[in-house]
Structure 1
Amino acid sequence: MEHLPLYWRFIRINIKAKTEYRAAFLLTFLSRGVLWSTEFALLWVLLYQFKSIAGWGQYEVMFLYSLNLTSYSLAAFFCFHPFTKLPAKIQSGEFDELLTKPLNPMLYLMSREFTASYFSNVTFGLLFMGVCMYKLQLALSVWDYLLLAVVLIGGTLIQASAFIYTAVPSFWMVRNNSLINLFMNDFKSFIRYPISIYPASIQVMLTLIVPYAFINFYPAQYFLNKSDFLLFHPSFQYLTIVVGGIMFTGACLLWKFGIKHYHSTGS
C-alpha cells in the first residue's frame, strides 16, 4: 500500500503523455466515437427491422450494449495492454525485468500501461446509456443511480477478471490466442442480446460458468422492470458486484499462483 502514490504517478504520466498532443488525442477520441456510434446505429437498424427480440425493444437491447461497452472500457483502462500483451512480454523476456522491481507486479503493470485512450469509449458508453434511459423514459431515483454505479463497478471487475484469466496461462503456454478469442470475443458476443433468447444450456453457462450475464442482463432486469430470469432467482439482478468481487479475487489468486510457478523463457 505504501507504493500507491507511485502507481498513481504512473497513471498520471500516461494520461499526460496522451493529452500532450491534443490534436492526436482529439482525433483518437472522435474516431473511436464514430466507431462505437456506427455500431450503436447498426444495432438500432437491426432491431428496428424486428421491432423486438423476445419482448425486448430496441432501446432495451441497446441498454444492454451500453452497460457492456462502459464496463469493458473501464476495465480496459487498466487491463487491455497489460494482459493482452503479456504473452509477448514473456516471450521476449521483458516480463523478467518487471519482476526485479520492488513493486507489486500486477499493480505496476496495470499502472505503467494504463490506456488513457479509453476515455472516449467510456464517454460514448455513458452517452448511449443516457440516450436509452431517455427514450425508455426511465425515472430513476438517487438510489437507482447509486445502484447503477455499483453495477458498473461489478461489471468492470468481471471484465477485468476476464483479461486476467485469459492472460495467466501465458506463464505456461506462450501462445494462447485461441483462449483469448474464446473468452473475450466468442462468449462475450452472447450478451449483446438478452440471454433469455438462448437455450437453457447457454443461460446456465453465461450465469454459472462464465458469468458474463451479470455484466448487463441481470442488472437490466431491475432498471428496465423485466422478469426474464426463467431458470434463476430474481435476486440475481442485485448480484453483479458480488459476482465481480468473487471473480476478481479468483483472478488475483490465479495471478499469484502463476507468478509463483513462473519460469523464465531465458530470452
Structure 2
Amino acid sequence: MLSILFTLLLLLQLVFGEPNMEELEGTWVSKSNTVFTGPGFYDPVDELLIEPALPGISYSFTKDGYFEEALYRIKSNPKNHSCPIASITYQHGKYEILSNGSVVLKPFAVDGRQLLSDPCGYKEDEAKYVRYVQLTWFEKYQVSISDYHGRYMLQIYQFDGSPMQPLYLAYKPPLMLPTEPLNPTDKSKATSTSLRKRVRRSLENQYRTNAVRQENPVFEKLYWVGVVLLGAGSAAMLLR
C-alpha cells in the first residue's frame, strides 16, 4: 500500500511539480544496459577508457548539481558502410536546471576524454585518444514510469527538441567517480596526490558501491499476479 502511495505521489510531482535535481538523482542507462558511469567505464588513474560489451549511453546526476556522462556510440560511415565509426566519451562536471526546465551540462575541461576509432579514416590498427570537452544543453527532460518496462524512465530532449533514446534508472544514489576535477593543474599538486588516492580507492571498491539498484515493487507484484492468473487459466483449460 505504501509503495502504491509513493508511486502516486511521484506521478503527481511529475505532472504538477517544477523540474528539480532530486528527481534527476541517480544513474540512468540506455536499453542495452551495458554502459554505466563510474569506475567501470573510465579509469582516471591510468587514464583508460574501458570499452563496454555493447553501445549505449549513461548519465548520472547528484542532487547537489554534479553530473557524469558515459557514451559508447557506433555510427555508419556514409562513404564506406563496412567501416563504422566508434567513439567512447567520458565527461563529468556540474549541471544546472534553468527556470524554463532546460538542463545545461558544464564539464570540467581538464577531465574529458574521447577514444575515436575510424578504421577507414587513418591507420587501421590505431584509434585516436584525445582530451575532450563539450558543453551540452538539453531543451527539457521528463521523468516518468515506463508502461512497458515498469521502471523509472528519463526522456531527454536535445537542443533542437528531438528526443534522445530513453534512459532507465539503474542506481540511486548514482554510481560515479569523485565529483571534483580528477586531473587538477600543477598549482595544486598536494590536492592531486590526495585525490589520486581517493580515485584509486574508488576503483578498488567499484563493485562494493553503496549505490542501490532501483526496482519498482508495485510492477513486480503485478507481474507475479499476472503469472498466477495465467497459470490458473491454463490449468482450467486443461481440466475442461
**Shorter-chain TM-score category?**
under 0.3
TM-score relative to the length of structure 1: 0.23
The structure in which a higher percent of residues are helix is 1
Q: Which has the larger radius of gyration?
A: 2
Q: Which one scores higher on RCO, CA 8 angstroms, separation ≥ 6?
A: 1
TM (normalized to structure 2)?
Answer: 0.25
Q: Where is the strand percentage greater, Structure 1 or Structure 2?
A: 2
